[in-house]
């Protein structure tokens, strides 16, 4: 409620009152009071005109705080319904329907693109050369790197996730990356039950990526109900390596994977049951 009483230094309207008028948030009485003052005060009228001009300028060219960015085209293939997620073609193991991949909608991808910069969970330098045995993000760095960001969607709201993030069954993992040069990217995981899964791939191989900034992966992952710690491994590789051996290796050993020609980083998420 706009109250006419004020400190004795000025009888004019506050910026707050003018902002509320501009935003059409005043009730009829307050609006009449403010407009009445504007009609009789050239100083306040000038201030209000200036605020209106700033508003028009802002609308005409808003700063890019929320600029929607379309994800770049890239060669990652859409995973249909999650049937192929985590399983190589021809595998006789049934797909785990509880953990499925889905395609985020365009609004999600646009919204996530603006947030990805704050959610980098892995920064991988380009592997020194094909054939190098690089099992960790270390050693000689060459030009070029890829940054991978993770957002966790829970109950329709997404938040950036860092190492150790707490998640719940049914949460959705959204990945995005920024790359300065082409390469191949894959994301695999080992969950609390020791089961290996492939979260980002092109079929059964690491996916080819093209340079781009905050490119949203075309598929996301719905977490199943296996609780406990889950380790995600981000592989940046020269070649489109086969991922089923990597996935199987995760199930056979608790050690971090070592893949020739790939730089790998990891992070963990902690899956907890939802308390109702």
Partner 1 sequence: MPAPGEHVTASNGRSNTDNDGAPSPVSGSPEALSVEEIYRRHGHMVLRRARALLRDDNDALDVLQQIFLSLLDEPERFTGRASVTTWLYRVTTNRCLNRLRDSSTRARLLEQRGASLLAGEPRADATEWAIARQLLDRMPDELAQVTIYHAIDGMTQQEIAEVLGCSRRHVGNLLERARRWARSAEDTSRPPFPRPGRRP
Residues that bind partner 1 (CB under 8 A): 1-7, 10, 12-17, 19-20, 22-27, 30, 51, 54-55, 57-59, 62-63, 65-66, 68, 104-105, 107-108, 110-111, 114-115, 118, 153, 156-160
The three-state secondary structure class of 139 is coil
Least Å from the CB of residue 220 to partner 1? 11
194, 233 Cβ separation under 8 angstroms = no
Contact 251, 190 (CB under 8 A): yes
Distance between CA atoms of residues 207 and 61, nearest Å: 37
Q: State which residue, 174 or 184, has the beta carbon closest to partner 1.
A: 174
Residue 106's CB is within 10 A of a number of other CB atoms, namely 12
Residue placing its CB nearer to partner 1 in the complex, 206 or 269? 269
Task: Give min distance, CB of 64 to partner 1, in A.
Answer: 8
Q: How far is the CB of 120 from partner 1 (least distance, A)?
A: 15
Pick the closest to residue 13 from 44, 56, 36 (CA basis): 44
Shortest approach of partner 1 to residue 175 CB, angstroms? 15
Cβ-based nearer residue to partner 1, 83 or 159? 159
Give dist(CA 178, CA 74) in Å, integer.
Answer: 12
The smaller minimum CB distance to partner 1, of residues 111 and 121, is found at: 111
């Amino acid at each position: 409620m706009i109250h006419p009483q004020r400190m004795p230094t000025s009888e004019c309207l506050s910026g707050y009152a003018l902002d509320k008028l501009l935003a059409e948030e005043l009730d009829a009485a307050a609006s009449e009071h403010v407009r009445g003052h504007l009609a009789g005060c050239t100083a306040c009228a000038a201030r209000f005109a200036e605020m209106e001009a700033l508003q028009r300028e802002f609308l005409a060219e808003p700063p890019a705080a929320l600029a929607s960015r379309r994800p770049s085209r890239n060669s990652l293939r859409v995973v249909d319904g999650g049937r192929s997620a985590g399983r190589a073609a021809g595998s006789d193991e049934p797909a785990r329907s509880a953990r499925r991949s889905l395609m985020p909608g365009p609004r999600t991808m646009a919204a996530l693109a603006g947030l990805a910069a704050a959610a980098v969970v892995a920064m991988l330098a380009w592997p020194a050369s094909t054939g190098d045995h690089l099992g960790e993000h270390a050693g000689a760095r060459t030009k070029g790197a890829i940054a991978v960001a993770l957002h966790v969607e829970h109950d329709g709201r997404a938040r950036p996730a860092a190492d150790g993030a707490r998640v719940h069954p049914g949460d959705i993992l959204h990945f995005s990356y920024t790359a300065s040069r082409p390469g191949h990217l894959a994301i695999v995981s080992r969950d609390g039950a020791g089961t290996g899964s492939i979260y980002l791939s092109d079929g059964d191989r690491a996916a080819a990526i093209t340079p781009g900034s905050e490119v949203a992966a075309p598929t996301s992952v719905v977490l199943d109900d296996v609780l406990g710690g889950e380790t995600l491994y981000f592989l940046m590789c020269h070649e489109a390596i086969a991922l089923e051996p990597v996935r199987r290796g995760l199930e056979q050993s608790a050690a971090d994977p070592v893949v020739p020609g790939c730089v790998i980083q990891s992070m963990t998420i902690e899956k907890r049951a939802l308390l109702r």
